[in-house]
Structure 1
Amino acid sequence: MTPDGNSVEAPVLPKTVTAETVVDVRHWTDELFSFRLTRPASFRFRSGEFVMLGLMGEGKPLLRAYSIASPSWDDGLDFFSIKVPDGPLTSRLQHIKEGDTILLGKKPTGTLVLDALKPGKRLYMLSTGTGIAPFASLIREPDAYEKFDQIILTHTCRHVVDLGYGRQLVDSVEQDPLVGELVGGKLTYYATTTREDFPTKGRITDLIENGRIFADLGIAPLNPEEDRVMICGSMAMLQDTKSIVEDLGFEEGSNAKPGDFVVEKAFVD
Structure 2
Amino acid sequence: MARTHTTTHTIATLILLGVLVAAFVSLGNWQLRRADERHAISQAIDAGRQHIPLHLNANTPDSEFINWRKISASGTWLNSFTVLLENRNFKGMPGYWVATPLLIDASTHTAVLVLRGWLARPLGPGQTLPPIPAPEGTHTLSGELVDRVPRLFELWSFNHSTADRLPAKLPLPGHSLPQIQNLDLHAYAQSTGLKLLPTVVEQTSDDRDGLGREWPQPSLDADKNIGYAMQWFTFAAIAGIAWLVTAVGALRRRKTPAPKSPPPAQT
Q: Same fold (TM over 0.5)?
A: no
Larger relative helix fraction: 2
Question: Larger radius of gyration, structure 1 or 2?
Answer: 2
**RCO (CA 8 Å, sep 6+): is it higher in 1 or 2?**
2
Q: If the length of structure 1 is used for normalisation, what is the TM-score? A: 0.25
